[in-house]
Structure 1
Amino acid sequence: MDSVSVRLMQEADLPSAERASAVTFFEAERSTRRVSDPEAEPRSAVVSKQWIDRMRFFLSVDPGGCWVAVEKETGSDRSDRTVGFAISQNRDRLWFLATYGVLPSHQGQGLGKRLIDAALAHASGRPGIFSSSVHPGATRRYRLAGFSLHPQMRMTGTVDRSTLPAIGGLREGLADDFEWMDQLDRDLRGAGHGPDHVHMLATLRLVVSEDREKPGYVYIDDQGRASLLAAAHPETAQRLLWEALASSRGLTLVNCITTPNHWAVDVGLTARLDIGQEGYIAVQDMPAPAPYLASGHFL
């Protein structure tokens, strides 16, 4: 392992880090795939570009939380090859881990611990949160680092459109909403999303509650999937989730549902979605947020 070093990420590392991420998560999906799950597929060029754009954003906002493990191949004049990565961010009083992984060929050699230790040092004692896969090596590492693991549910399928209720009290969101959205985030998870809202609004549809006494918002992707949802009351959260489901086309996904968020389970089952278990929300020095559906990368 003398040829592998852990250092801060640089922008030039992004293509190599993306390739490492694509291989790592493809192999993880294949190894943990259940019989009922679809076959794992390699990451598309579009998704690869989205990954790089997202990591470039994190690198620009909080570079001190972005780490890579790189290997210098003996006798090679090529740039360092990324074999592991841990992309984390500090937002106000909260730390979150956006993505983390080590190439299968380099697992079991202590690289994961070195990367997590570097990211946690950047946290400087802040409470932390991230979404974890079911990979046994990763979950072992997170628990050893002191995180509580809260099992997540997910719901998949095609929405039975005959179940869609008439939804009112919502409107399209704007950048002018960010101030109260950040306050809602502080109430739910101890810190606002800050610059993350700017990035998400550029690529996702934002829908918000009109009632400022019962605030809430949801980001919806181009497939009509709820990418991040936060609300002060479960009834508001349900209306927002129904709006996302009404926007869905074909198969949809509702993810990151922890036990305190059974309001989402009620909506999904009513819409005739199938429910299953998928990974964990890992938290340290904080409860699992509710009513709240976390984003995989922005938490």
Structure 2
Amino acid sequence: MILRPVRDDEEDAETVRMISSAALGASRTLPGDAPAGGSAGAGAFAGDDAARQRGRTRHLAATDPGGCWIAQDEEAGPLGAVLSSRREGTWAMGLLAVLPGAQGKGVGKALMARSMAYGTACLRGVVWGPPHPVAARTYRRAGFTLHPAMALDGVVDPSGLAPLDGAVHPGTPRSRDMMDSVDRRTRGGAHGPDHEELLRHHRLLVVDDLAGSGYCYVRDGVVELLAATSRRLATRLLTAALLTMPQGRAVRVSGLTAEQEWAVDVGIAAGLSVANAGYVCLRGMRPPSPYLPSPSFL
């Protein structure tokens, strides 16, 4: 087995997508993926979603070649993949996937070790951990604190949501500096170039007034990433995001730790169900709040 960097091309992007899909199909829910059949639907990889997954891979291969690797066998071909990034002292691993036939043979361990070596100089680390005992054990042994996470699922009942207490506006690329500032305050480091990739596939909602600032990415029934300088503004953003969902469409909001009770309250008011959904695994940092991580960019 050899490890090689993920190339910024369509062939490697499709290879990573296929590895992820196969691993998910074997009931090995991956960091950043919804459970099979969930509305976040990373397992389906159809249409725009497949393009988004390939775009994420190419984006990270271009910005973080040292954090993105494919494990392959000379005869069997690709076995697994990992995608990770460094942003202002924060290392994040958004994907670790191994083909079913290669699991339990040290492939995942080798990929994770190479990815973590890329983040050695970072003060903070974050991983989206699936609800799988092997993954939880692996991340804990690697020094991460496991914060049990929840997800909100269902169809929004707008009648239960309180009226917005202020303005929410569509965001643009000009919102980048504001979003980086909010990132630094909530998670210790800006997402930087990741915002460019998120903007390609998501609608952006922002608040920026005398009370503070915040932003939220929304796509196809999914709240992808939310950060704000106060719970009040975060509540406003999440409420606005849920109200923009198509009527009758199943939605998903994931990555809620105990520090995000404000989000749980909004979800319950909207008639969404609350369920356990893996872990937000952190090293060198407390759970960001008010903050809902992106499954892809954390």
Whether the TM-score (by the shorter chain) exceeds 0.5 is yes
Q: Does 1:11 align with 2:11?
A: no
| Amino acid in the other structure paired with 2:13 | L
| Amino acid in the other structure paired with 1:255 | S
For residues 153-187 of structure 1, the C-alpha deviation after alignment (integer angstroms, 9 at most, x for no partner) is 11111111212333232111122221121111111
How far does residue 211 in structure 1 lie from its aligned partner after superposition? 1.3
Mark the structure with the bigger radius of gyration: 1
From 198, 203, 209, the counterpart of 2:201: 203
Does the C-alpha gap of structure 1 residues 289 and 11 become closer, same or farther in structure 2, counting only changes over 3 Å?
A: same
Q: Give the 4+ runs in structure 1 shifted more than 6 A.
A: none
Tell me the residue number matched to 2:23. Answer: 24
For residues 17-46 of structure 1, the C-alpha deviation after alignment (integer angstroms, 9 at most, x for no partner) is 22111100121258xxxxx98589643254
Within 5 Å, give how 1:67-146 maps onto structure 2.
67-73=69-75, 81-126=77-122, 127-146=124-143
Within 5 Å, give how 1:1-299 maps onto structure 2.
4-11=1-8, 13-28=12-27, 38=37, 42-73=44-75, 81-126=77-122, 127-167=124-164, 168-223=166-221, 225-249=222-246, 250-299=249-298
Q: Is the 8 A contact 1:182 1:194 kept in 2?
A: yes
| Structure 1 counterpart SS, 2:279 | strand
Tell me how many residue pairs correspond in the alignment.
285
Single out whichever of 203-212 and 57-66 deviates more from structure 2: 203-212
Q: Is the 8 A contact 2:85 2:92 kept in 1?
A: yes
| Structure 2 counterpart SS, 1:287 | coil
Aligned counterparts of 2:28 and 2:110: Cα–Cα separation in 1 = 23
Aligned counterparts of 1:296 and 1:188: Cα–Cα separation in 2 = 16
Q: Is the 8 A contact 2:24 2:43 kept in 1?
A: no
The percent of aligned pairs where both chains have the same amino acid is 35
Alpha carbon RMSD of aligned pairs, Å? 2.1
Tell me the residue number matched to 1:76. Answer: none
Aligned counterparts of 2:50 and 2:173: Cα–Cα separation in 1 = 27
How far does residue 6 in structure 1 lie from its aligned partner after superposition? 1.6
Aligned counterparts of 2:7 and 2:180: Cα–Cα separation in 1 = 29
Q: Is the 8 A contact 2:27 2:36 kept in 1?
A: no
TM-score w.r.t. the length of structure 2 is 0.90
| Structure 2 counterpart SS, 1:184 | helix
Q: Is the 8 A contact 1:26 1:42 kept in 2?
A: no
Aligned counterparts of 2:149 and 2:95: Cα–Cα separation in 1 = 17
For residues 115-171 of structure 1, the C-alpha deviation after alignment (integer angstroms, 9 at most, x for no partner) is 111001101231111211112222221111111110111111111121233323211
| Amino acid in the other structure paired with 1:276 | A
Aligned counterparts of 2:51 and 2:72: Cα–Cα separation in 1 = 21
Aligned counterparts of 2:265 and 2:241: Cα–Cα separation in 1 = 15
Q: Is the 8 A contact 1:134 1:280 kept in 2?
A: yes
TM-score w.r.t. the length of structure 1 is 0.90
- What stretches of structure 2 of length at least 5 have no aligned partner? 30-34
How far does residue 266 in structure 1 lie from its aligned partner after superposition? 0.7
Q: Is the 8 A contact 1:132 1:280 kept in 2?
A: yes
For residues 271-290 of structure 1, the C-alpha deviation after alignment (integer angstroms, 9 at most, x for no partner) is 11111100100111111111
Q: Is the 8 A contact 2:21 2:43 kept in 1?
A: no
| Amino acid in the other structure paired with 2:297 | F
Q: Is the 8 A contact 1:95 1:123 kept in 2?
A: yes
Q: Is the 8 A contact 2:17 2:50 kept in 1?
A: yes
Does the C-alpha gap of structure 1 residues 121 and 38 become closer, same or farther in structure 2, counting only changes over 3 Å?
A: closer
How far does residue 84 in structure 1 lie from its aligned partner after superposition? 0.7
